[in-house]
Amino acid sequence: MACGKFMMGVETRGIDLPGEIPQRGKLFVSSTTPDICRQLRETAHLTGFSVSEPFADVVAVELRGEGLRMLTDAWSEALSSAAQAGVRCYLSAGEAIPNCAQLMRSHSLASLKDWVNGQWLNEVIGGQRLITHFQPIVRTRNPETVFAYECLLRGQDQEGNLITPDRLYAAARGANLLDRLDSEARLTAIQSASVRALSSCVFVNFNPRSIDSPHKSLQSTLRAVLSSAIPTENFVFEVVESEEISDTDSLIDIAEHFRMAGCRVALDDVGAGYNSLNLIAILKPDFIKLDMGLIRNVDRDTYKAHVTGKLLELARDLGVRTVAEGVETESEWRWACEHGADFAQGYFFARPAAEPPRSAQSSRDLPNVTFASEIFAAAAEVDAVGADLTSAKSLQN
């Protein structure tokens, strides 16, 4: 029976693609629709490829050099997006012919196209063209003092132009390179901070969902930390909650490994992530970073101010230090000061740069601010004095 018929109604999951496009190999494609199989075969033949049919509903194409890129481009033009999603592709670097089960578990043509288009990222990583930019995290009440630097990923093309992190991670998702990119980004950040012998804390991002082999990935990261010129306790590993984290047990395990090595842990994007409050309870972070969406116009948005204020209050009660992210105006800075945020970060102080910048703001620019922490301290002192007076009166009586 044809493999295409076996594939009808079957839920598929992709077999891992190789790390790079093989210079020689064979691509097997199959569809449940005979007309689409015909289009695949004819398009490959017209593009100049050697085509065979090992069995019904399956087309095999010989590949060399940049052949895979040319072939996926040609098929993308010939087929609709819906048709591409239904075509299964099995890439073999050798002479082996896949069986029906392997074809059923193979990638769609659309996924294969994304993988091919993302292969430039391998060249960036292999060519050591990942770089780190640094953005200061300042003490909110004294922004002249840099408490830490967050390490932010950038790339460089062959002409030296910057590649944004959004483009890097989009390519990594399509090319199945998230684990490699995230690992290389951490190593690059640690090495870049070490070369500059930073005396402040260093915040390094990691995405738990991109770590396919936690222990292997952690070992390389911790080796870099231990061999750096920066004290271990100055490293803060920042959990990036860009996607829902379902395996919280692995996350706790990763955090404990960092802590056992002497590092600290931060939770990023609190207030914008998928499960921030639950993660605070589970992870027990040393720092939480309030998402810039909460900080933007917080001085003018009463509802947002109430939510953000409660998060700051919660962190204070738990003994967790707070960072207000994305501060862009003096009013946002004032609000963060008045409501007790420990640290702040954003363009108002300094933009990310290849060389760690100092803050552009001075505490002298912030007159007449009453800080929430001072209010709480004063209230506690009043309560204590009141308790002492009550106690003294009871003794007199």
Model confidence pLDDT, tens digit, residues 114-138? 888 888 999 999 999 999 999 999 9
Specify the pLDDT at position 242. 61
User: What are the tens digits of pLDDT across the range 179-219?
Assistant: 889 999 999 999 999 999 999 999 999 887 766 556 677 88
Which has the closest alpha carbon to 136: 366, 352, 385?
A: 352
Above 50 in pLDDT, residue 9?
no
Residue 315 to residue 285: CA distance in whole angstroms: 10
Specify the pLDDT at position 66. 82
Q: Is 387 exposed, middle or buried (0-12, 13-18, 19+ CB in 10 A)?
A: exposed
Average pLDDT, the chain: 85
Q: Give just the sign of the alpha carbon dihedral 184, 167, 236, 150.
A: positive
Specify the pLDDT at position 42. 95
pLDDT-above-90 percentage for the chain:
59
Only one residue has tokens 């097997």, namely: 28
SS3 367: coil
All domains of the chain in start order, with CATH: 3-117 (3.30.70), 122-366 (3.20.20.450)
Q: Is 67 exposed, middle or buried (0-12, 13-18, 19+ CB in 10 A)?
A: buried
Reported as a pLDDT band with limits 50, 70 and 90, residue 273 is low
Residue 242 to residue 253: CA distance in whole angstroms: 19
Residue 243 to residue 397: CA distance in whole angstroms: 64
SS3 179: helix
Above 90 in pLDDT, residue 166?
yes
User: What are the tens digits of pLDDT across the range 38-70?
Assistant: 999 999 999 999 999 988 889 999 998 889 989
User: Which residues are paired to 266 by β-bridges?
Assistant: 238, 287
User: What are the tens digits of pLDDT across the range 223-246?
Assistant: 999 999 999 999 999 998 666 677
pTM above 0.85, yes or no: no
Report residue 112 as tokens.
Answer: 């294969």
Above 80 in pLDDT, residue 149?
yes
Above 60 in pLDDT, residue 272?
yes
Above 70 in pLDDT, residue 16?
no
